[in-house]
Structure 1
């Protein structure tokens, strides 16, 4: 068989609340974070969205653009198994793939044209801000939802579901930010409930280390005490 190579050009880029890879939910369905895909000029024809309103959910295919330079690995560390055990790259959702392509299911929130830009709004995103999108496809429930599908990993390495508590000043700041970003508090809670610490530290019910996560250009400091995630402070990122 003759080997061929193919090139791909992004059809657009997505804006999301996630400015860093750390703490991005591991799967899109685990968050209601909203995103806005701005199509590139080459495909920004309103006809590309004709009929898309008939689908409640969509597949996004995208590029793991921040890890491409690191190449791929045949076996990758599995965070849910403690970070030291490995799995085959094709048995994982690792970013270190031969072609660096990812996929996520998102909710279709409609499209609009703003000036000369064609934009698609989605929710339930787990993508880094600025991620290149290479394709959009409808999610077909009859074909894509497999009733008897199995995920054995979930039976012995389920995702954490921790309580989240805000310190007083952090709570006030969260309320203020919610005026600009109505989903801010709920999104932050959903991200932290999943305990984004490395898996080997998730075993610690009390962890003195202070961690940070960035949402909507805000730096959030937090730690885990007696199994509860405490939001210590929320500060805007310096320009």
Structure 2
């Protein structure tokens, strides 16, 4: 038995590439994006009543992973990349049907003739992600008070982030982008197997800027120093 799934929208995201995109939604509150519905789903009637919801579920396709297949055992980054678990016991992107889901904050809905734009925040999806369904987040049923997941019961401890003078200067008039960079990098987007190497420069594109940073030890604590922020 097979089913055809058609995208109903695409994501316009502040994350322009996979690297540095958070592994979970809601962690980076400053991450903003737009869910742009496409024909024939871009009828304002299709979102009537949704404006009263604070959060929504997005079901989407891991479109950059479809052609890479899947494995029954995967290495979750949260476990250091060394321990294998069953794919259905994780939120790994390489899945049999490449379907993901995220809950995001619905900031506002913008509608025009033949145009429906959902402005959201707390996003963890890269630019161009196909969305296959949208549902309201229902607190009484979706928030399970005593839910338990032993491998990631709490959010990871944020890593300290500092900005070089050059980066501070580049961000002097953009407090939003500085906060976005801080929140994204504090989640430590490195591959789990990477050790601290102060000569290794990391980079990612956030919004319309290229951001570079390094990791270093300060008083035996690993910290991140943002080296530069420049137009992409």
Q: Distance in 1 between matches of 2:112 and 2:150?
A: 45
Q: 1:183 is matched with which residue? A: 176
Q: Decide which of 119, 122, 134 is 1:121's aligned counterpart.
A: 119
TM-score in terms of structure 2 length = 0.93
Question: Take 1:201 and 1:51, find their aligned partners in 2: how far apart are those partners?
Answer: 47
1:130, CA displacement in angstroms? 0.7
- The 1-side partners of 2:23 and 2:147 are apart by 19
Structure with higher helix content = 1
C-alpha distance after superposition, 1:145-169 (max 9, x if no partner): 00000121125x9624111111111
| 4+ residue runs over 3 A deviation | none
Q: CA deviation at 1:183?
A: 2.1
The normalised TM-score by structure 1 is: 0.90
**What do the CA deviations read for 1:3-34 (whole angstroms, capped 9, x no partner)?**
x1000110010101101101111111101211
Give the aligned partner of residue 21 of structure 2. 24
On the 8 A contact 1:58/1:105 being kept in 2, the answer is yes
Is the Cα–Cα contact under 8 Å of residues 44 and 114 in structure 2 kept in the other structure? no
Provide the alpha-carbon RMSD of the alignment.
Answer: 1.6
1:83 shift after superposition: 1.3
Q: Distance in 1 between matches of 2:26 and 2:155?
A: 15
How many residue pairs match? The answer is: 227
Match of 1:231 in 2: 226
1:73 equivalent in structure 2: 71
Mean alpha-carbon deviation: is it higher for 126-135 or for 224-233? Answer: 224-233
Distance (Å, rounded) in 1 between the aligned partners of 2:180 and 2:149? 26
1:182-234 per-residue CA deviation (whole Å, 9 max, x = no partner) reads 521111100111111122336x4x64311112101311110112221100011
Q: CA deviation at 1:103?
A: 0.3
Determine whether 1:104 maps to 2:102. yes
User: After the TM superposition, which residues 66-215 of structure 1 pair with which residues of structure 2 at under 5 Å, given as runs?
Assistant: 66-114=64-112, 116-154=114-152, 159-176=156-173, 178=174, 183-201=176-194, 204=196, 207-215=198-206
Name which of 32, 35, 41 aligns with 1:34.
32
Aligned mates of 1:103, 1:207 — CA distance in 2: 36
CA gap 1:105/1:158 in 2 versus in 1, 3 angstroms: closer
Contact 1:160/1:195 (<8 A) preserved:
no
Counterpart of 1:5 in structure 2 is 2
Where structure 2 has 5 or more consecutive residues not aligned to the other structure, the ranges are none
